[in-house]
Chain A
Amino acid sequence: MEEALLRAVLFGTPILLASLGALLSERAGVVNLGVEGMMALSALAAFAVAQEAGPALGALAGVGVGMFLGLFLGVFTVSLRANQFVAGLAVAALGLGASGLLGKRYEGVPLAHPLPEEGFALLALGLALALHYLLLGSRFGLYLRSVGENPRAADLFGVNVDGVRYGALGLGGGLVGLAGAYLSLAYRPSWTDGMTSGLGWVAIALVILAAWQPLRAVFGAYFFGLLFFLQFRLQGSVPIPSEAFAAMPYLLVILVLSLSGRTRAPKALGVPFERGR
């Protein structure tokens, strides 16, 4: 049982971090579908830098690449007002492709100095609490939410809508980058093409299921982690085929979170903001 709870937290952590990142920008009205690719490229950057300069700098590099990709997405979604879904998918594809291409020479090498997973887990939990406070208890959070709900009104009150959105994408990207760094520096610890194996998409879905609330994302991510572990722990001891078991985490998380309360998206989510129109 203890083992299961530990796995819930340790496997839930990358999903939580990536979810928090996507949640932050969505609260500011920008959908980030690039999470999977951002995680992949951050994981590679973290691994490459860690091998050369130590794991601490590696983790920073992961965060840095995540922030950069968040801002890069901002250029299209905020400044150029492109379709956020298309731009996000493009970033996902770009990140996955670029990481596969650039990462060739890092494949098949174990990481020299892995980081402890527990450290990342604590940090992620702390960040979730901080984000909760930031969104609901701080002035910046108020601006950020107002930009996500009604950017025109926020603009009239003197809030720099584009600036806040860039900020949310940058910070959110950093969180996604940290998730990538966790995978290649602690969870796995090595780099392979495609190592994010769809966790980014799970994180995006979790944002919606967690109703854009950081604390519910914590619960959702750990719950997913628990079920993911249990599919293997219970395989063979309960008369359910393993293929059906594999679908269980996804189904149960959807079920529980959809039963746990009303969901309302930020009103301006996915809508590019254009001043003075």
Chain B
Amino acid sequence: MRKLLPLVLVLLGLALGQGDKLKACFIYVGPIGDAGWTYAHDLGRKKAEAALPWLETRYVESVPEAQALPVIDRFVKEGCQVIFATSFGYMEAVLEGAKKYPNVIFAHATGIKRAPNVATYMADFYQVYYLNGLAAGALSKTGKVGYVAAFPIPEVKRHINAFTLGVRAVNPKAQVLVRWINAWYDPAKAREATEALLAQGADVFAFTEDTPTVIQTAAKKGAYSFGHYTPMLKFAPNHVVSGQIVHWDVIYIDFLKRVKEGVYTAKNLENVDYFWLLQHKAVEMGADYGVPINPKHVPLLQKAQMTVGGKKVSVYDRIMALMKDMQSPKPTFDPFTGPIQDRKGMVRIPAGKKATLQELLSMEWAAPGVVGDWPGEPK
């Protein structure tokens, strides 16, 4: 009997541990894939699971919007206590599911509607896009920077605008040529859109879509590029300058800890909205993790000059200074600080004012320097 005691204790411990686990379940809109949105969320899920011993996770990938509610039903049946829905299009399903299961906690990425048991969250890149815009403006010889964009929605427009403001801060005459591919994932469209921009003289590239296609295509012609969502340095080690990298795990871990501690419950999420930026470490500027700028391109950026407040500074120093500021707990700089006019000359952000969260989330106007079709542009 005495010999069995440790075994019994271990089993008891396991059983208790099991009962104490928090089960979080993820609904993904796409396949986990190689580099894009869903891949990044899944990376976040894995990191959260590794960091939180009491966490158990499950996921379903490639869930069409219409299928989200059945997946929620299934998750609840399987005992999920927290459900993360990782696409804007799941909004209706999440709100309906939240009503149906008032004791389950929901969190909706990029969402705009909340409920007592529905929080929203987003890791936003606009500051990083601005910093990369500074580098792009310094590196372009033709003054034409290419931008391959998925859909003309406020989120993407905000990113293009921030990027363009950065480009123009270095080179006030530069243009950002935008091409919409109307798809999050379509390598052929991304490829041909990049080819079209190359043919028009673009020599530096940024993008918002879910593949490294732009980088691979640009590198073939010797053009610089900036990665998106995950580190993309390996796809063109000589041409990827930097990029936007997300850390969903930071948000997932914070959220789940608060659920575990009982701070967040299925009754008090009405005002829980994560809009996390550089200062929260939810996003990073980088060609790779911990590599803000590809060392191969640092000398070029150190040599390039820009004017800030009447003084000449190197673009590299400016990027590093602003990054440090925006990573600090109380940033003083924001890319969307007035006076900012749109490309039609209308004042969008008055002098001395910063864009409010609401203004950021509903941005439809185009910054000066943006060239190309802009669906939904205010008259």
Q: Do the beta carbons of A195 and B182 come within 8 Å of each other?
A: no
The smallest beta-carbon distance between B377 and chain A, in angstroms, is 11
Contact with B along A250-273 (1 / 0, CB 8 A): 000000000000000000000000
Contacts A3-B195, A108-B39, A229-B195 given; does A194 touch B182 at CB 8 Å: no
A65 CA to B195 CA, complexed, in Å: 30
A42 beta carbon closer than 8 Å to chain B: no
Chain B residues within 8 Å of A195, by CB = 187
A195 CA to B191 CA, complexed, in Å: 12
A194 CA to B33 CA, complexed, in Å: 9
- Among B182, B199, B211, the residue within 8 A (CB) of A242 is B182
Stretch at the interface among A31-39, A83-91, A185-193: A185-193
A7 CA to B371 CA, complexed, in Å: 23
B317 beta carbon closer than 8 Å to chain A: no
A158 beta carbon closer than 8 Å to chain B: no
A232 beta carbon closer than 8 Å to chain B: yes
- Among B181, B188, B375, the residue within 8 A (CB) of A241 is B375
Contacts A110-B235, A190-B216, A232-B193 given; does A199 touch B188 at CB 8 Å: yes
The smallest beta-carbon distance between A7 and chain B, in angstroms, is 5
Q: Do the beta carbons of B216 and A242 come within 8 Å of each other?
A: no
Chain A residues within 8 Å of B178, by CB = 236
B179 beta carbon closer than 8 Å to chain A: yes
A100 CA to B34 CA, complexed, in Å: 11
A4 beta carbon closer than 8 Å to chain B: yes
Contacts A7-B195, A232-B193, A233-B200 given; does A246 touch B179 at CB 8 Å: no
The smallest beta-carbon distance between A200 and chain B, in angstroms, is 12
The smallest beta-carbon distance between B140 and chain A, in angstroms, is 18
- Among A7, A110, A191, A233, the residue within 8 A (CB) of B234 is A110
Q: Do the beta carbons of B216 and A189 come within 8 Å of each other?
A: yes
Chain A residues within 8 Å of B235, by CB = 110, 190
The smallest beta-carbon distance between A213 and chain B, in angstroms, is 25
Please give the number of chain B residues whose Cβ is less than 8 angstroms from any Cβ of chain A in the complex.
Answer: 39
Chain A residues within 8 Å of B213, by CB = 188
Contact with B along A225-252 (1 / 0, CB 8 A): 0001101110110000111001000000
Q: Do the beta carbons of A3 and B192 come within 8 Å of each other?
A: no
Please give the number of chain A residues whose Cβ is less than 8 angstroms from any Cβ of chain B in the complex.
Answer: 32
B70 beta carbon closer than 8 Å to chain A: no
Q: Do the beta carbons of B188 and A197 come within 8 Å of each other?
A: yes
Q: Do the beta carbons of B187 and A11 come within 8 Å of each other?
A: no
Q: Which residue on chain A has the smallest CB distance to residue B180?
A: A242
Q: Do the beta carbons of A190 and B212 come within 8 Å of each other?
A: yes
B102 beta carbon closer than 8 Å to chain A: no
Chain B residues within 8 Å of A187, by CB = 188, 191
Q: Which residue on chain A has the smallest CB distance to residue B36?
A: A192
Q: Which residue on chain A has the smallest CB distance to residue B185?
A: A194
Q: Do the beta carbons of A236 and B373 come within 8 Å of each other?
A: yes
B372 beta carbon closer than 8 Å to chain A: yes
B50 beta carbon closer than 8 Å to chain A: no
A274 beta carbon closer than 8 Å to chain B: no
Contact with A along B172-200 (1 / 0, CB 8 A): 00000111111001111101110111111
Q: Do the beta carbons of B195 and A197 come within 8 Å of each other?
A: no
A-B contact pairs, 16 of them (CB 8 A): A7-B192, A11-B192, A107-B33, A107-B39, A108-B33, A109-B234, A190-B212, A192-B34, A193-B34, A194-B31, A228-B188, A228-B192, A229-B195, A233-B200, A236-B177, A236-B178
Q: Which 7 A-B pairs have the closest CB atoms?
A: A236-B372, A232-B196, A108-B34, A107-B34, A3-B199, A233-B196, A232-B193
Chain B interface (Cβ within 8 Å of chain A)? 31-35, 39, 152, 177-182, 185-189, 191-193, 195-200, 211-213, 216, 230, 234-236, 371-373, 375
